Each structure stands twice: as structure tokens, then as C-alpha cells.
Copies of this chain bind each other. A is one copy, B any other.
Amino acid sequence: MATIKDVAERANVSISTVSRVVNGTATVAAAKRDKVLQVMAELKYQPNSAARALAGNKTGMLGIVANDLADPFFATLLKGVETEARQAGMQVLAACGHHDAEQEEAAIRSLLSRRCDALIVHSKDIPDQQLLDLLSECPVAVVVNREIPEIADRCIWFDNLAAGYMATKHLLAQGHQNIAWLGRNQNITDNVDRYIGFCNALGQAGIDHNKAYKAFGEATVEGGYQLAYELIRSKSEVTAIMAYNDAMAAGCLRALHELNYKLPDDCSVMGIDDVILGLVVYPQLTTVNYPVEDIGRTAVKKALALLADQQLEMTNHFSPKVVIRGSVASLRKSVLRKSGS
């Protein structure tokens, strides 16, 4: 590949002049500039990013560490990050944490070693303090979906408690009382917060959450399927299911179909996350929107602002919004239907 020197020689100018027309850092006589441009095209010159990074002390790269790139959730986050980064002329370097503390650390380290100008980090498995240590090596780091008090201004998270609360409220508003919680059997904060929101909403409605129906399992379609199948067979009085996330809710719908429930009248199902799965199932899922792509974009904006030393005030906290589709029915209908059949 051609270098800046090749271009300079062929265009009869110095390398600085070439550098100037490439970067637009200073005015260059029109004639020379045109000549340089022409030679660049002839030689298919592409500046060497490594050399640039070394000399200029910035790489133009934005690192992102996520858990699993194939997961729709992370894929959407990545998309948001990529979109925003590209607009700023930056490239995205992706590394996978694979839901494992050691690999998460390795991922961050490798990104650090690449001297990304900024890092967007989604990490659940590394403890706060260790994460702080790691990130202290990085000029700019924004943490996504996690709130670390020491760097709260560089965190962006979703209000999971409000999500659980609002979702449950929606179910209660439709008249449901016998609401089951289909939870995740892993104590990450998302899960705990959503569950607390659920309990709060029940409590406010005068329902003792200790007596509520609950089942815990894997936060996957399959997990939701199995839990719901068991639950419904033993507790047919349940009229609504509040699932930890859309994946579980989707599994839940499948279980109900298999049990020949007529949906949504025989049983309502509510999810949280608002991922594409919810549009695919029948009935389409009533859920709570989790603006992942937005979060990704905001994270990049924040990182960029930090890089530019701007004290740009921006929300670092996203609120949930109920998305009404077809999987929740009002209790009245459900009861009528049940007594009629």
C-alpha cells in the first residue's frame, strides 16, 4: 500500500503538505492540493491508522465490551453504539465478555491495549472495585446498565425497579389479582430490582407479595416455557403472569398455547425489555420498553463529550414505558370466559 511518502514524491511536495490536505489542518495552495488529491486517488492512498495513532496519540477507535454479541439485546446495543460512533467518524472495536468475569477482564484489557480513545463497558460479572481499577487505565470509559457510585456520572442505566413496578401496575389496572412472578434464578441487580418493583406494586394494591405466586428459572425462552408450564398446571387460578423479561414471556406464551389456553383471555402475560421477540409471538407481547439502542447512542455521546472535555449535562438514567400490544386482557373478560367454558 502506498504511503504518505509515495504520494509526496509523486506530487512533488513534502509529506507535510500531503498530511495537510489529508487532514485539512491548514490551507494548501489550490494547485498543489489538487495535484495531491489526484495522486492520492491514483495510488489508492489510505492513511495508515497505526502510524496516525502513534503520532497523534489517538486511535479513533471506540471499544465496546458486551457479553454475547448474538443476543438480540447486545446486538441492539452494539448497533446503537456503531451508529453513533460512525457519525463521529470513529470505528467500533468489539470484545466479548461471555458472561464470565475472567473473560470480561481479558476483553477490557485487550481493548485497553488497543488504546481505544474511549470504552463503552457492559459488565455484570466483575465487582465494582476491580472494574474501577481496570477502567482507571482508560482515558474515557462509560459504563452501561450498571450504577457504580464512584463514577455515577459516567454510568448509564435503566430503571429496572420502575419497570417491574409499572408493568405490574398495568396488570393490576386490568383487574388482575392473582399475578404470578416468573423470575430469574440469578441475583443480578436487574432481576432483583424488577422483582422489588413487582412487590411494591402488589403491596400498594393491598396484596401481600409473600403470598404471590412465584417461580424462578433461567431467563430464556426455554426457561419461561418450563416454569409457566408447571406453574399453570398447578395454579390454574392465576390470571396473569409477570415475566422477568420478554424471552421468558415468549416461552410462557408457548406453554399456554400448548395447554390449550385461549390467549390472552384465559391468561395475560407481560414482559419487560421490548425486544423483537415480542413482535413475533402470538399474541404480540405487551411489555415495557427498554431503550437499549438509545442507551448505546447516549453512551457514545457521553464518551465523546468526555473526550472533548465538555461538561455536557445529559440523562444517565432511562425510564421505562409500557408498550401495549395483545398479550394482556382485562380480568373481566378472562373471568367471563372461564365461567363460560
Interface residues of A (CB under 8 A from B): 1, 44, 46-51, 53-54, 59, 61, 68-72, 74-76, 78-79, 82-83, 86, 91-96, 109-110, 112-115, 137, 221-222, 247, 250-251, 253-254, 257-258, 276-277, 279-284, 293
Contact = CB atoms under 8 A, between A and B. Distances in A.
A250 B163 CA distance: 28
A68 B72 contact: no
Q: Is the interface of A mostly helix, strand, loop or mixed?
A: helix
Contacts of A95: 82, 91-92
Copy number in the complex reads 2
A273 to B, nearest CB: 13
Which of A59, A76, A79, A95 counts the most chain B CB atoms within 10 A? A79
Contacts of A250: 280
Contacts of A109: 46
Contact of A49 (B96, B113, B137, B279): B113
A275 to B, nearest CB: 10
Nearest to A114: B49
Nearest to A110: B91
A152 B72 CA distance: 32
Contacts of A49: 50, 113-115
